[in-house]
Structure 1
Amino acid sequence: MTAAALLALLGVVFLAAVGPIGPWGETRGLSPDVTQPYLGLPGCKSAFTVPAEGPSDKYSPTFEKLVSMAEQVYVLCVDCGEVSVPSSWRDKVLLVDGKRIDDCVKDHHMDHWHRATFSHAIAVSHARARGFGNVAVVEDDARSDFTVVFSDADYEDFATLLKQPARWNFIRLGWRPYALETAIGDGCPRQCRCEEVVGARTCAIAGSGCDLRSSDAYLVARGAYNSYIHRLQLGVVDFDVLQSFDKMVLVNPMVSYQEKLDITMDSQRDLQAAFRHKCVGVGPSSALPVLDGIRGELAPASRGLDDGERRDIDVLDADGILF
């Protein structure tokens, strides 16, 4: 019997035992981690290393300080030997080596985007095992906008928000409003309305379904760990996983951009400025189409997968990794 057939059989048995499963395979009243039969992995302990410290022209003082306010920091990298981090992250930062993660999953049918996504799952699973209340995840192609400067009051507001985890699942330091790139007409898609939460530097999207791409820099709260780890094993991090969560807080204007993207950093700035103008604060919602539920049809990404390709991906278990 093939692995896929075995998973299908186990899924039928498990479904009969636990009852109806939601859009992401999550059963009411149960941890998402036990609602899918997972393939185990050999240990990936060597993927985690302590980085060198040193100056970098990638991170602004504002970005460095916001990230340092997380309880733990994970930097996802490929050429990890070339990565250095600020001294303000000392004793709370680990590199997550993508090449070593690739070695762990090389026997499974995963494309580049799912392997990269699995690095996020491994990092957050590591954080959950150690009981961190929140963590920052930074991809190695994140670059700061040095023109965005926080005041002391702004930092105090951010610290206050971190102490209120019931108000947020994620805080995005960088984000790409793909919903505006594909929208027709003016105004803000209703699912993307973003209201101020604590101070003028952050706003929150209350529901799920707003198509915000980019996973270059964000914080995630402990209350979202289980669902996030589970969904990362079924989708692509910034194509359909992050979009499925509610209580999404955006740092506004954003302080992080992606270097390796199909649009320039200037275009990213223009898009986030358009989002601020159309979607942040009060005002009438537009009549643009609303995504249908937690797994609504999102606009296809330039690197996205079609449904057939997604079904061929083996489901992997971040908890099966030995840290």
Structure 2
Amino acid sequence: MGRPSIPERFANKWRTWRKAARLRSIRSRVQVDGAKVLLLFAQPRGGSTWLEELIRTVPRTATIWEPLDVRHNPAFREIGFWWRQYIPEGEVWPEAEERFRHLFEGLMLSPYLTRTTDVDELLAAERLIVKFVRGNLLLPWVVSRFTVPKPVLLVRHPCAVVSSQIKFGAWDSHALVPRPRPHRFDRFIEQYRAILDDIRTVEERQAAYWCIDHKHLLEHPENDRAWTTITYEEMILRPEATLNKVFQAWGIPVPNAALDRLRQPSSTTLAGSRVRDPKEQLRQWRTKLDDQQIGRILGIVDRFGIDLYDHTEMPRRTFTP
């Protein structure tokens, strides 16, 4: 697709301005319970939109879209957040805690954050769904600071994630060797500097991002206890059982509408993706990556010491009962 025409850009700006004005006008009328917020954590292109669309079938919910995108959400940028911010579990950071409280209570609204939600849904909502694709490193801190329903961690095969990211193209302009600007607690990223400095290809860089986002959580003693861990692969092959695990932890019955939507592609699935045949969907990355690329991705995963995935499509451990 080419760039939008001038009339299209003008129309988009007008819609954004009009929605921003409406959001300002209803701010005091949004009555969501921050203690009921449903939190989803995943990687970009990791399947979170599909999961969010299933969970959105819960009555009286509204979705907040990727609030840690610091380019589009100045509230976190203003306190110094990096794209993949880490906060140690015992750390007291009042400004960050305040931002998350505002987020969960519906006090942080913008056209970008509500891109999949209309104003009427916000006014009717009793709880929010917040979808994070840059929040994995914050998950243990969040559950230590906020009493909320168990967040969900969705994990997907690194080869599938990297293949989809390369196809999507949003990371094409990023520096090959990750060198984040200095930020609070950046030592967490710098502990992997020896691996990062050896990166020579785009797929190695994206695999390193995947590893940084997952290693800490997969090795955490509270993994799948303080939060609910599921895999994309089990969600594809055992969707009802996987959804049951998620909803049981919340004490909410699985909506019939969620079961009806299970085999539908998400709104961010790219054209041409195979989504009707579950096993074919899991094999798809093999048709997009050559053997050398697969070897480089799994080589990075091995250097990080993560053993959940290998050259096969399925995880080596199961999280769905």
State the TM-score, normalizing by the size of structure 2.
Answer: 0.21
Higher helix share: 2
TM-score by structure 1 length?
A: 0.21
Higher share in strand: 1
